[in-house]
A and B are shown apart, each in its own frame.
Chain A
Amino acid sequence: MIILSAKNLTKSFGKKIALSNVNVEIPRGRIIGLLGPNGSGKSTFLKLATGLLVPTEGEITIDGAIPGVETKAKTSYLAERTYLNGWMRAEDIIAFFEDFYEDFNRIKAENMLKELNINPSDRLKTMSKGTKEKVQLILIMSRSAELYLLDEPIGGVDPAARDYILNTIITNYKENASVIISTHLIADIEQVLDDIVFISKGEITMTSTVDEIREKYNKSVDGLFREVFKC
């Protein structure tokens, strides 16, 4: 069962080509690392899957449909930046998510806030950048979506919270759902990944399971990444 499929997917911004002729199929029930150096097209790929960008050529489909209302209802996208309104309280934004996403679980969100000692009645603008990122991730993971698209989910948070977040990710998704995590902090997330997709300069250079890499190259994903993308 394929949840996401890209065929000849190309996206250019003016003359700059961000993604070039990408073909990839992501099955259900996997955690996939979308790994590549800065500016390799990771964010562009996730934005195309979410429907924040429209392909220049080719197509991308989520569960067989091109991005639209239907796919947005079953994909949970974590943007690379904090997009929450400063004036809102955590509880306001929970109400917002509850209104728009049918698969949003309020109890789950409130429990996670409690576990991370975040007060639901605090305004977002009084929170630190890391805390805001945590709130955002909690919201995203409190949905029971079919596809999670996480753009740099652990970039701004401390290592202790990182473990909690990764744990949240792997324990919170349904069996037939998939999680795509884009990051360059590979060592931190390697333990949770099933598959990896290496992306460089807008092209996919390798897709593999993590087990295969360990067998074939006798290396960790992090080690292989450093070798492949050596400057």
Chain B
Amino acid sequence: MLGKLFKHEVKATGRTFLPMYGALLILTIFTKLALTIGAPDFFTDDIATGPVAEVILGITFTLYVIFITALCVMTFVVIIQRFYKNLFTDEGYLMFSLPVKTWELILSKLLVGLMWSVVCCLMLVISIFILSLGSFSMMEVVQDINMAYTDFYTQFGMSLNIILFELFLCMLVSAISSILLIYASIAIGQLFNQHRVLASFGAYIVITIVLQIIVSIILVAVPLLANLDILFSGIDGIKAAQWLINGTTLINLVLCVIFYFCTQYIMEKHLNLE
């Protein structure tokens, strides 16, 4: 059933995103054209463009930046809106009478939300790649990357891939935990009889503040209680960075579990659709 939920979720969200991605590609090509015609030497050091070209370039670039911002904001909004609207408004009557488990409902929404976030990032990369075409040679890029790997290895004695993977994991887990925080906040809002959306915002703010306080306390308390000099003596900078990255991943993982079970508990035991 998870697969079917996933499929219908993609269907329901794709009709918003696909046209946006299409529009992004068109806008990118348009901006690229404007660049090539209006300022062929844009990526060199001495740019010399006429005033008309400057205005046109200015407008296309502004449009481009606005559109990218809108795309990111929309990805975020759709993730929230799908969870709230599809499960806790009238549509919830249908979703909760389906023969599916609560965790399948949550997971399908989460996975599809993550999927679009990743696709959104990919689209941005592709778009920027198209814009910068012609300004660099592929050979040089490959060489630079290889150099970075070699440098890193000679300096730290380990592959750059390890750090990159840990960073990726950290980002992924923190993305999941921020989505689940929103889900939990929406679910907590459902415990109120009225002003539920307001209550969800309240829950979100309170949880964020509490987490901030806890993190601050840890950051202050740990150096006071433990002698970090001993702990970190003999550990080089890269190891310390790894500690930080993996520590963040671990904390976010714990938060994910808490937010997830909080959401599931409320949806199973205290569901009360308006």
Indicate if B8 sits at the interface (CB-CB under 8 A): yes
| Assembly CA distance A38 to B246 (angstroms) | 57
Q: Are B8 and A96 in contact (CB under 8 A)?
A: yes
Q: Are B271 and A69 in contact (CB under 8 A)?
A: no
If A83-B92, A85-B91, A99-B4 touch, does A14 touch B12 (CB 8 Å cutoff)? no
In chain A, positions 161-213 with a C-beta closer than 8 Å to chain B are none
Q: Which residues of B contact A73 (CB under 8 A)?
A: 99
Indicate if B159 sits at the interface (CB-CB under 8 A): no
Q: Which residues of A contact B269 (CB under 8 A)?
A: 54
Indicate if A65 sits at the interface (CB-CB under 8 A): no
| Assembly CA distance A82 to B193 (angstroms) | 21
Q: Are A81 and B270 in contact (CB under 8 A)?
A: no
Determine the main DSSP class of B at the interface with A.
loop
Indicate if B90 sits at the interface (CB-CB under 8 A): yes
Indicate if B15 sits at the interface (CB-CB under 8 A): yes
Indicate if A87 sits at the interface (CB-CB under 8 A): yes
If A52-B271, A96-B8, A100-B1 touch, does A83 touch B90 (CB 8 Å cutoff)? yes
| Assembly CA distance A84 to B89 (angstroms) | 11
Q: Are B93 and A52 in contact (CB under 8 A)?
A: yes
Closest B residue to A101 by CB, please name it.
Answer: B99
Determine the main DSSP class of A at the interface with B.
loop
Q: Which residues of B contact A13 (CB under 8 A)?
A: 193, 272
Indicate if B100 sits at the interface (CB-CB under 8 A): yes
Q: Are B94 and A83 in contact (CB under 8 A)?
A: yes
Q: Are B97 and A52 in contact (CB under 8 A)?
A: yes
Measuring CB to CB, which residues of chain A are less than 8 angstroms from any residue of chain B?
13-14, 47, 50-54, 69-70, 72-73, 75, 77, 79, 81-85, 87, 96, 99-101
**Can you identify 28 A-B contacts, CB atoms within 8 angstroms?**
A13-B193, A50-B96, A51-B96, A52-B97, A53-B271, A54-B268, A54-B271, A69-B100, A69-B101, A70-B99, A72-B99, A73-B99, A77-B93, A77-B97, A79-B93, A81-B90, A82-B90, A83-B91, A83-B92, A83-B94, A84-B91, A84-B94, A85-B91, A99-B4, A99-B8, A100-B1, A100-B4, A100-B99
